[in-house]
């Protein structure tokens, strides 16, 4: 089995299930043997080392010598956080010199790559550090120029978790549209389409969200089974690709929770079968309302359930963590 040295110094909170827990699934599903290196790693199935800040480079190469990995994998859950130092260059500055020197195949996965626009220095970083391939979680990132091989690795779900905590009885689901996530503060421009949809749904008394806590429209965060249960409690779930046209994790999570997906068109949506979800446009939100009312009509109950369960089955079968891990294995094998 291929052994990966996974390097990640970021701490994860509410969204760890789609990021570091996906890495953990590679080890749990026995697709790779994973060994970790980073200060933010905890509660994982694989062994991990905390960096020795007095001499990180020596610590890194001692781990290489001891563990003998076949390849190195790094990860960034938000490759566009330039102001907060969360972009690829800033996030891996602590280990960059050592990464340049190590003679192993190296792979980096980036989420939200160049969300606010292309930056040449971010593209150059991959080649400068000697990565074998860049792997992006959003398909639109493949449109940017880069001097090494690049691949699309979409998000995925923990199928056992969603099967366990999703509501199976459709009769107890609310006939509203559930939303959980960012919809205000610094994301007002990025998510203006979903905000317009939320405002319209709210006027029709069709929107269900988590409660607002504090200022700046920040809403209560839910985790794990509570997150799944909230999505699954409504017959519909709302998301969008933002102005950056990302196929975000909610495109997979909503149908995985047995809720009908309501989404804006975005790059990558073509991987889903057509007619199993409601596609909305901020320019014609009445169409979205018409579709919701159609599926909420008792005469169309059978059609609603069939379409919702069809997309649920499709996501659970084709976009689960194990299958996505096998896709990652296929990429990495090409360079060993």
Q: Would you state the pLDDT for residue 115?
A: 85
Comparing 176 with 218, the larger pLDDT belongs to 176
- Segment 151-166 shows an average pLDDT of 97
- Segment 244-255 shows an average pLDDT of 96
- Segment 134-153 shows an average pLDDT of 96
Confidence of residue 61 (pLDDT cuts 50, 70, 90): very high
Backbone phi, psi, residue 94, to 5°: -65, -20
Confidence of residue 219 (pLDDT cuts 50, 70, 90): low
Confidence of residue 213 (pLDDT cuts 50, 70, 90): very low
The packing angle between helices 192-203 and 285-296, to 10°, is 50
Backbone phi, psi, residue 16, to 5°: -65, -25
Confidence of residue 187 (pLDDT cuts 50, 70, 90): low
Confidence of residue 185 (pLDDT cuts 50, 70, 90): low
| Sequence-distant (≥ 6) Cβ neighbours of residue 30 within 8 angstroms | 1
Kindly provide the b/e burial profile for residues 85-110, where b requires at least 16 CB atoms within 10 angstroms of the residue's own CB.
ebbbbebbebbeebbeebebbbbbbb
- Between CA 310 and CA 327 the distance in angstroms is 23
- Segment 174-192 shows an average pLDDT of 80
Confidence of residue 160 (pLDDT cuts 50, 70, 90): very high
pLDDT (tens digit, 9 = 90+) per residue, 13-57? 778 899 999 999 999 999 999 999 999 899 999 999 999 878 999
Tell me the whole-structure pTM to 2 decimals: 0.94
Confidence of residue 216 (pLDDT cuts 50, 70, 90): very low
Backbone phi, psi, residue 267, to 5°: -70, 120
- Between CA 335 and CA 270 the distance in angstroms is 29
- How would you list the strands of the sheet with 207-209, edge to edge? 207-209, 174-179, 234-238, 260-264, 278-280
Residue 5 pLDDT exceeds 50: yes
Confidence of residue 220 (pLDDT cuts 50, 70, 90): low
- Segment 112-138 shows an average pLDDT of 93
Domains of the chain and any CATH numbers: 3-156+320-333 (3.40.50.2000), 159-318 (3.40.50.11660)
Residue 266 pLDDT exceeds 90: yes
């Amino acid at each position: 089995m291929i052994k990966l040295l996974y390097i990640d110094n970021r701490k994860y909170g509410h969204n760890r299930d789609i990021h570091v827990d996906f890495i953990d699934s590679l080890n749990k599903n026995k697709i790779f043997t994973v060994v970790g290196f980073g200060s933010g790693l905890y509660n994982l199935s694989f062994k991990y080392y905390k960096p020795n800040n007095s001499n990180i480079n020596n610590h890194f190469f001692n781990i290489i010598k001891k563990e003998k990995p076949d390849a190195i994998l790094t990860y960034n859950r938000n490759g566009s956080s330039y102001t907060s130092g969360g972009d690829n260059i800033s996030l891996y500055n602590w280990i960059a010199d050592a990464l340049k020197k190590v003679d192993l195949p190296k792979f980096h996965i980036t989420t939200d790559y160049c969300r606010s626009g292309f930056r040449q220095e971010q593209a150059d970083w991959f080649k400068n550090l000697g990565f074998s391939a860049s792997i992006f979680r959003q398909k639109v990132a493949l449109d940017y120029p880069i001097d090494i091989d690049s691949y699309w690795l979409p998000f995925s779900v923990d199928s056992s978790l969603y099967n366990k905590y999703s509501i199976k009885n459709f009769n107890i689901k609310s006939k509203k549209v559930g939303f959980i996530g960012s919809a205000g503060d610094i994301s007002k421009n990025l998510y203006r389409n979903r905000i317009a949809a939320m405002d319209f749904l709210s006027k029709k008394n069709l929107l269900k969200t988590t409660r607002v806590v504090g200022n700046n429209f920040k809403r209560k965060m839910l985790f794990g089974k509570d997150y799944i249960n909230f999505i699954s409690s409504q017959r519909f779930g709302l998301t969008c690709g933002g102005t950056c046209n990302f196929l975000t994790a909610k495109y997979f999570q909503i149908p995985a929770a047995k809720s009908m997906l309501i989404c804006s068109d975005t790059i990558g949506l073509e991987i889903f079968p057509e007619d199993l979800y409601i596609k909305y446009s901020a320019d014609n939100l009445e169409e979205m309302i018409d579709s919701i009312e159609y599926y909420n009509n008792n005469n169309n109950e059978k059609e609603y359930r069939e379409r919702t369960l069809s997309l649920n089955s499709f996501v659970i079968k084709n976009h689960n963590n194990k299958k996505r891990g096998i896709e990652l294995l296929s990429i990495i094998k090409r360079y060993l």
